[in-house]
Structures are given as C-alpha cells and as structure tokens.
Amino acid sequence: MGNFINIEHDFVERTLRLIAQYESIKHTYPFEEQLNYTLLLNCMLGIIVMPKERVFSHIPNHRITNELMQEMGLNETVINPQYTHLRSFIRALRNSVSHFSIDIISDDEHNLIDKIVFKRPDQFGGGEVANFTSEELLPFMRYYATWLQHNLNEHE
C-alpha cells in the first residue's frame, strides 16, 4: 500500500480495513490464539487518539441519548452520565487509551474478556469513562469511525 495522501482520513480508513482484514482471517487461528481485543485496543489509536489530536473539530458532537447509544450498537455498555455529548466522551476515551487506563474484566474463571472498562487517568480526576461489553466495542468503533470519516470527507 502506498503513502498517505491525507493522513487524518487515510489513517482512520486503514485502521478500519485492518480490523476487517483480521476479522476475515481470525477463524483460521485456534480460539486461544485469536487476538481480536488486543487488535481493537491498538486500533483505538487510529480511531480515537489521532483524530482527537489532529481533527478535533470534525469529531461529531451529538448529544448522547438512548437512541444514539442504540444506533451505535451500545445496548449494555454504560457511558458515565457526566459525558452528555459525544465529543467530550471521545476526549475522555482518548485520555483513557493514551494513558492505558483500561481494565479488562472476566465474569468467570475462564478469563475470557467480558468487559473493557475505560477510566480517567488519575491526573484527569480518576473515575470511570465507560464500561463496554466486549461484544459492543467493535460495533461502536465502526459506527464512530464511519461518522468521523463522513465529517472529514465533507470538509476536505
């Protein structure tokens, strides 16, 4: 693949393609060798961190409502109610990812990933940003990244 033409747009697009490529081959690996959540957490750099740093004004700023949560594929995920708008939530999520203030929770002794908890780093006051169910992180990332790409395309 060639050089970046528009790094902000291309990085988000390539991150989504990387996830799709992995999703298409992960079944070829035994379950215990599948690294889908490791990949997702790494890919948050391209979908959450870089856009906040480079194109903050293009991050959607819709009010977080139950309807928006459902539209984003978040039915069981809990977002801290102090984040009433998407942009402030993304900023807090960015801080959590950048400072690796993340907890992985397993609900039983099998140590499967059931929840991914993003927290505010202590220097930002601590506390929980969001508690994602493992099944809902990928749909959220896809939905949000598609929305971000649309905003970037509109303002090229």
8 A C-beta contact, residue 112 and residue 75:
no
Q: Note the pLDDT tens digit of each residue in 50-61.
A: 776 667 777 888
Q: Note the pLDDT tens digit of each residue in 54-98.
A: 677 778 889 999 999 999 999 999 999 999 999 999 999 999 999
Q: How far apart are CA 82 and CA 87, in angstroms?
A: 12
- In this structure, of 70-79, 100-109, 120-129, the range with the lowest mean pLDDT score is 120-129
Q: How far apart are CA 139 and CA 9, in angstroms?
A: 19
Q: Which residues contact 63 (CB under 8 A, 6 or more apart)?
A: 84, 85, 86
- In this structure, of 36-50, 76-90, 127-141, the range with the lowest mean pLDDT score is 36-50
- The whole-number pLDDT of residue 32 equals 87
Hey, how many other C-beta atoms are within 10 angstroms of the C-beta on 57?
A: 8
Output the DSSP codes for 7-62.
HHHHHHHHHHHHHHHHHHHGGGS-GGG--HHHHHHHHHIIIIIHHHHH-GGGS---
- The whole-number pLDDT of residue 109 equals 87
Residue owning tokens 């856009």: 51
| Percent of the chain surpassing pLDDT 70 | 96
Radius of gyration of the chain (CA): 16
Burial of 32 (0-12, 13-18, 19+ CB in 10 A): exposed
112 falls in which pLDDT band (50, 70, 90)? confident
The kind and range of the H/E element at 131 are strand 128-133
7 falls in which pLDDT band (50, 70, 90)? confident
Q: Is pLDDT at 127 greater than 80 in this prediction?
A: yes
Tokens of 67: 């309807």
